């Protein structure tokens, strides 16, 4: 007769097996459940020379992540090239404001899910001018629409060309060789023109004319000062003339008042003239009397009253 199995032993065995399996899953998964980093991928079209694994990922100059892998994808049909760059963003490296509370991004489940909708994009930047090393800069461009190139299996951050890349991309559309040849021809023509003896003589004449003009302007300035002084003297003279005319007007007004027919002076003069006239008539009468009667000077008037 077989021995009955102990349920306690079987239960302990099952629980132990489950615990071991759980521990193995955690170890094999790299402790993903407790990681605070999130992975993201970016696709760059141009050259990424200077970008290397371990390069920083920054936002407004603050490091928030690291480049973990760089790949190369060549499209066999179109021969276009893409460079996918895998990065890890540390969610504890930045804070998020939720209403009136500021917390770590790792404490919010969807803290990084809607950033792309607000215009989040990545761009290569020069980290060191001497070494030529690059880093990835994240920035927001609200209202901008960026093209996503991945299959959606991993969180993607769209990319944008740098200003220098845009310039090179634009220059590729123009025939630079022809432009440079035209520029060289233009410079050669300019050199011939400025080396022409006639042009040199003309420039010399213009230079001399400029000097003569400067001298003339200086002389005109001196004459202008003298003329201004003369005008000042003339103004003073006119002021004195105005004062003299005012005095003359006052004198004429006084004289006019004295010579008016109804003035006291005119009355006095009239009386004096009348007296002089009467005296003259008396003298004339006396003269006539003496002429007719010389003895009257001794005898006086005759009885006839003459």
Q: For residue 135, which phi and psi values (nearest 5 degrees)?
A: -140, 170
Under 8 Å between Cβ of 46 and 159: no
Evaluate if residue 38 carries a pLDDT over 80. Answer: yes
Output the 3-class SS for 33-66.
HHCCEEEEEEEECCCCCCCCCCCEEEECCEEEEE
The overall pTM is greater than 0.85: no
Evaluate if residue 306 carries a pLDDT over 80. Answer: no
What pLDDT is attached to residue 12?
A: 72
Cα distance between residue 40 and residue 63, in whole Å: 15
Evaluate if residue 186 carries a pLDDT over 80. Answer: yes
89-116 average pLDDT score: 63
182-192 average pLDDT score: 81
Class of residue 173 by CB neighbours under 10 A (exposed 0-12, middle 13-18, buried 19+): exposed
pLDDT, tens digit, 9 for 90 and up, residues 195-205 = 778 777 777 78
Higher pLDDT, 107 or 277: 277
Evaluate if residue 61 carries a pLDDT over 50. Answer: yes
State the CB neighbour count (10 A cutoff) for residue 203: 11
Q: Which residues contact 83 (CB under 8 A, 6 or more apart)?
A: 43, 44, 45, 48, 70, 71, 72, 73
Evaluate if residue 114 carries a pLDDT over 90. Answer: no
pLDDT, tens digit, 9 for 90 and up, residues 119-145 = 888 899 988 888 889 999 988 887 777
Of the ranges 81-85, 95-99, 243-247, which is most confident?
81-85
Dihedral angle sign, alpha carbons of residues 208, 209, 214, 216: positive
Lowest mean pLDDT among 19-23, 24-28, 67-71: 24-28
Residue 188 pLDDT class (50, 70, 90 cuts): confident
What pLDDT is attached to residue 111?
A: 47
Percent of the chain at pLDDT > 70 equals 62
Mean pLDDT of the chain: 74
Evaluate if residue 73 carries a pLDDT over 50. Answer: yes
Evaluate if residue 301 carries a pLDDT over 80. Answer: no
Under 8 Å between Cβ of 73 and 22: no
187-202 average pLDDT score: 77
Residue 206 pLDDT class (50, 70, 90 cuts): confident
What pLDDT is attached to residue 1?
A: 47
């Amino acid at each position: 007769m077989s021995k009955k199995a102990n349920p306690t032993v079987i239960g302990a065995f099952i629980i132990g097996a489950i615990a071991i399996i759980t521990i193995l899953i955690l170890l094999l998964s790299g402790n993903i459940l407790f990681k605070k980093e999130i992975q993201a991928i970016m696709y760059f079209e141009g050259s990424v020379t200077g970008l290397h694994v371990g390069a920083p990922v920054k936002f407004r100059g603050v490091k928030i992540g690291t480049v973990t892998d760089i790949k190369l994808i060549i499209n066999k049909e179109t021969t276009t090239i893409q460079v996918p760059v895998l990065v890890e963003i540390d969610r504890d490296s930045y804070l998020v404001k939720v209403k009136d509370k500021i917390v770590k991004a790792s404490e919010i489940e969807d803290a990084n899910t809607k950033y792309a909708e607000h215009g989040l994009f990545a761009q290569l930047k020069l980290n060191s001018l001497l070494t030529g090393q690059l880093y990835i800069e994240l920035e927001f461009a609200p209202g901008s629409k960026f093209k996503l190139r991945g299959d959606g299996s991993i969180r993607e951050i769209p990319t944008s060309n740098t200003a220098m890349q845009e310039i090179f991309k634009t220059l590729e559309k123009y025939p630079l060789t022809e432009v440079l040849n035209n520029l060289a021809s233009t410079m050669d023509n300019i050199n011939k023109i400025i080396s022409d003896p006639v042009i040199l003589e003309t420039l010399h004449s213009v230079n001399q004319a400029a000097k003569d003009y400067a001298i003339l302007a200086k002389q005109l300035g001196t004459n202008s000062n003298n003329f201004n002084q003369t005008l000042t003297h003339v103004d003073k003279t006119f002021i004195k003339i105005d004062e003299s005319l005012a005095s003359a007007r006052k004198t004429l007004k006084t004289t006019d008042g004295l010579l008016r027919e109804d003035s006291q002076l005119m009355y006095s003069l009239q009386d004096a003239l009348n007296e002089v006239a009467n005296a003259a008539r008396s003298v004339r009468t006396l003269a006539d009397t003496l002429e007719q009667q010389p003895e009257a000077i001794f005898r006086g008037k005759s009885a006839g009253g003459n």
